[in-house]
Amino acid sequence: MGLFIAQILTGLANASALFMVASGLSLIFGVTRIVNFAHGSFYMLGAYVGYSFMQVLPGGFGFWASILLAGLVVGIIGIIVEMLVLRPVYKAPELFQLVATFGVILVIQDLTLLVWGADDFLGPRAPGLKGIIRIMGEPVPKYDLALIALTPFVAFALWWLITKTRTGILVRAATQDREMVGALGVNQAWLFTGVFFLGCALAGLGGAVQLPKGGADLLMDFNILSAIFVVVVIGGMGSLPGAYVAAVLISVLNVFGVNYLPQSTLALMFVVMVVVLIFRPFGLFGREEVAGEHGQVGEPERPIKPAGQTARMIVVVGLVLLGLLPLVGDSFILVLITDIAIFCLFAASLHFLLGLGGLVSFGHAAYFGGGAYAAALLVTYAGTPMELALILAPLAAGLTAIIFGWVCLRLTGVYFAMLTLAFAQLLWSLVFQWGDFTGGDDGLVDIWPSEWASGTTTFYYLALVLCIGGIILLRHTAHSPFGYALRGARDSARQAEATGINTKHVQWVAFGFAGAMAGIAGGLFVFSKGSIFPNELEIARSFDALIVVFLGGVKTLAGGVVGGAALEGAKDYITRFEYWRLLLGLLIIFVVILAPDGIAGTLRKWAERIGFIKREDQA
């Protein structure tokens, strides 16, 4: 009994920071309709800034003042980000906003590294709250009790602000109808900035307040992200009570999980989420979100046509050059091109989902890494030959995609994006925690191609054939009746339903198909490297693909391929810099703001302007 109560208390204490961060995310989303993927970064900043203040401000007063100051400073950083990065993209399609906030993640990661260095900080203990109290014989840290007492005050202050003040009324009104609030004379720009300040300040407070329990490190941003998403999905986006209840639920469950099911603590919260979603698709306290308020795209979509004469010629010439490459290139070049080809297939499979299906998946690494792990596990435990493993990898990845897709496709838009990301994290955590089977952090090694394909040149051809074959298959599918049905489902679900298309079904199949294609890439990846580690399943990997598709251009079919080649090529170069994330982050932000059609799309526009390609509407 004593242990039980102690565990509940620990859970409640852990819920404190989670609630603050999640309610901040919820608030920002409610008003601006932007899911701030960088929210974890503000949480991390809060921890670092709070830590620094605690070094200079002494005593109990200094400790609590540091936490408040951390919230304030992070809120101000939030204002800067909002004004510089988000203001230009409020009217842009959702994907652009998400990618922009991802750029912010990269920038903040490197700036934090730059300012505070790579070492983890152990959080200072709270003066006056250092010891433990025994409750029915079980030790409970005093600081935990302080957090449990503190959270209701924060929740109450927020509730008061939202329900009782004019600002809160405006925020709630804007959550429902921003345009109308503007037409009544309220300057929305400042309302947005204010809400962003508040949301980021809450994230900063959350980061600072957990210092004595968790300290500060550079992985905090991604580590909390899926927990926040799970909390807002369970609680209901935009609902403060929902955020609180869900944060408590998840935290308490986690504590029990650690004690009774140590292998699957992370998986546990996803199970709860899935159960909640099945019964309440918009969360415990949430309501249906009207999706697509600011429309799908800035400009009317062009019909994607089968390649013209010129394009075909360019592709054929390119393929011939690639085919002849082993005659001149050394093995370094061949390995690099193999990497690029694999990555291009991965990116093209995401492009298929995203560009054609309008399905913004933020967890595509699950299927790439899933295929890779499937192949690696088959080789390690069943001695499966490469040929069979390469066939089974896409099957396994496709199956995973079908299972995850079943849940994710119950929701749309940003919810869908959050769910896909959360599921990818689930897979990552399974692989990471189930070390006996998957090798955990040490990965799986010694997975080499069959004898005949083990030469660099032979494997290069194998990878090239499979990847190009996969890309052609994706393209071909895009122009098949299935591709048109998928596009129909994206542009107007209702219209598509009216013509007898089961849109959910079409999207589900597409999700599985794209997953399988990513699985081929994953399988090839394992055999080209000889090993696999959990980082191939990480959020960062999913984002790689997303950025590539984005940089390449969502609306051009070539987008995935061009972007993939560009990034994988550039990465080889750019990652030699210490602060490459900063560069990449800034690049992404600039592209979002200045060249929203991506590289391929922008090139195409230039080409049209100088008359190299004819515009569709003139043709």
Other CB atoms within 10 Å distance of the CB of residue 164:
10
Summary count for the chain: helices (H), strands (E): 26, 4
* Contacts of 20 by beta carbon, 8 Å cutoff, 6+ apart: 151, 154, 202, 203, 205, 206, 209
Minimum CB–partner distance for residue 428 and other proteins (Å): 38
DSSP, res 85: I
Q: Which is nearer to other proteins, 145 or 186 (CB)?
A: 186
Minimum CB–partner distance for residue 121 and other proteins (Å): 43
> Contact between 173 and other proteins (CB under 8 A)?
yes
- Nearest 10 degrees: Cα torsion 40, 46, 52, 57: -160
Other CB atoms within 10 Å distance of the CB of residue 425:
29
Indicate the helix (H) or strand (E) that contains 531. strand 531-532
Q: Which is nearer to other proteins, 241 or 440 (CB)?
A: 241
Q: Which is nearer to other proteins, 475 or 490 (CB)?
A: 490
| CB contact at 8 A, 499 and 487 | no
Of 115, 152, 187, 480, which lies in the binding site for other proteins, with binding defined by CB under 8 A?
A: 187
User: Using CA atoms, how far apart are residues 555 and 302, in angstroms rounded to an integer?
Assistant: 8
Minimum CB–partner distance for residue 189 and other proteins (Å): 8
User: Using CA atoms, how far apart are residues 137 and 134, in angstroms rounded to an integer?
Assistant: 5
Measuring CA to CA, which residue among 373, 430, 381 is closest to residue 399?
373
Of 166, 328, 332, 383, which lies in the binding site for other proteins, with binding defined by CB under 8 A?
A: 166
Of 184-192, 402-410, 545-553, 570-578, the window that binds other proteins (rule: CB under 8 A) is 184-192
Minimum CB–partner distance for residue 166 and other proteins (Å): 6
Q: Which is nearer to other proteins, 301 or 578 (CB)?
A: 301
> Contact between 87 and other proteins (CB under 8 A)?
no
Q: Which is nearer to other proteins, 224 or 237 (CB)?
A: 237
Of 114, 136, 169, 313, which lies in the binding site for other proteins, with binding defined by CB under 8 A?
A: 169
Q: Residue 2 corresponds to which tokens in the numbers above? A: 């004593």
Of 3, 180, 314, 319, which lies in the binding site for other proteins, with binding defined by CB under 8 A?
A: 180
Other CB atoms within 10 Å distance of the CB of residue 357:
22
Minimum CB–partner distance for residue 177 and other proteins (Å): 6
> Contact between 172 and other proteins (CB under 8 A)?
yes
> Contact between 161 and other proteins (CB under 8 A)?
no
Place of tokens 């029990």: 256
Of 185, 262, 383, 611, which lies in the binding site for other proteins, with binding defined by CB under 8 A?
A: 185
Of 27-35, 116-124, 171-179, 397-405, the window that binds other proteins (rule: CB under 8 A) is 171-179
User: Using CA atoms, how far apart are residues 241 and 158, in angstroms rounded to an integer?
Assistant: 10
> Contact between 83 and other proteins (CB under 8 A)?
no
Q: Which is nearer to other proteins, 173 or 445 (CB)?
A: 173
| CB contact at 8 A, 383 and 505 | no
- Maximal CA-CA distance, the chain: 82
Q: Residue 437 corresponds to which tokens in the numbers above? A: 């089977």
User: Using CA atoms, how far apart are residues 575 and 552, in angstroms rounded to an integer?
Assistant: 20
> Contact between 188 and other proteins (CB under 8 A)?
yes
Q: Is 154 helix (H, G, I), strand (E, B) or coil?
A: helix
Neighbouring C-alpha atoms within 13 Å toward the C-beta of 13: 21
Of 62, 127, 182, 440, which lies in the binding site for other proteins, with binding defined by CB under 8 A?
A: 182
> Contact between 300 and other proteins (CB under 8 A)?
yes
DSSP, res 455: S
> Contact between 181 and other proteins (CB under 8 A)?
yes
Of 4, 149, 177, 391, which lies in the binding site for other proteins, with binding defined by CB under 8 A?
A: 177
> Contact between 179 and other proteins (CB under 8 A)?
yes
Chain-centre distance of CA 265, in angstroms?
20
Axis-axis angle for helices 365-382, 386-408 (nearest 10): 140
Rg over alpha carbons for the chain, rounded to the nearest Å, is 25
What percentage of the chain's residues is helix, strand, coil (to nearest 5)?
75, 0, 20
Minimum CB–partner distance for residue 295 and other proteins (Å): 10
> Contact between 500 and other proteins (CB under 8 A)?
no
* Contacts of 547 by beta carbon, 8 Å cutoff, 6+ apart: 99, 102, 563, 567, 584, 588
Minimum CB–partner distance for residue 84 and other proteins (Å): 20
Of 61-69, 86-94, 163-171, 524-532, the window that binds other proteins (rule: CB under 8 A) is 163-171
Q: Which is nearer to other proteins, 297 or 315 (CB)?
A: 297
> Contact between 616 and other proteins (CB under 8 A)?
no
User: Using CA atoms, how far apart are residues 56 and 74, in angstroms rounded to an integer?
Assistant: 18
Please give, one letter per residue, the 3-state secondary structure of 288-305. Answer: CCCCCCCCCCCCCCCCCC
Q: Which is nearer to other proteins, 187 or 310 (CB)?
A: 187
Q: Residue 611 corresponds to which tokens in the numbers above? A: 């008359």
Q: Which is nearer to other proteins, 30 or 405 (CB)?
A: 30
Minimum CB–partner distance for residue 23 and other proteins (Å): 18
| CB contact at 8 A, 138 and 6 | yes
Chain-centre distance of CA 129, in angstroms?
37
Of 80, 149, 184, 261, which lies in the binding site for other proteins, with binding defined by CB under 8 A?
A: 184
Catalogue the E-assigned strands of 102-182: 132-135, 138-141
> Contact between 186 and other proteins (CB under 8 A)?
yes
| CB contact at 8 A, 53 and 65 | yes
Of 55, 176, 454, 502, which lies in the binding site for other proteins, with binding defined by CB under 8 A?
A: 176
Minimum CB–partner distance for residue 125 and other proteins (Å): 43
Of 183, 290, 327, 610, which lies in the binding site for other proteins, with binding defined by CB under 8 A?
A: 183
Minimum CB–partner distance for residue 612 and other proteins (Å): 25
Of 151-159, 165-173, 395-403, 581-589, the window that binds other proteins (rule: CB under 8 A) is 165-173
Q: Which is nearer to other proteins, 23 or 239 (CB)?
A: 239
Q: Which is nearer to other proteins, 188 or 531 (CB)?
A: 188
Measuring CA to CA, which residue among 414, 427, 406 is closest to residue 522?
427
Of 170, 230, 378, 468, which lies in the binding site for other proteins, with binding defined by CB under 8 A?
A: 170
> Contact between 303 and other proteins (CB under 8 A)?
no
Of 182-190, 408-416, 452-460, 490-498, the window that binds other proteins (rule: CB under 8 A) is 182-190
Pattern 580-599, binding to other proteins, x per CB under 8 A? --------------------
Place of tokens 């052609």: 472
User: Using CA atoms, how far apart are residues 70 and 564, in angstroms rounded to an integer?
Assistant: 39
User: Which residues contact other proteins (rule: CB under 8 A)?
Assistant: 166, 169-170, 172-173, 176-177, 179-188, 300
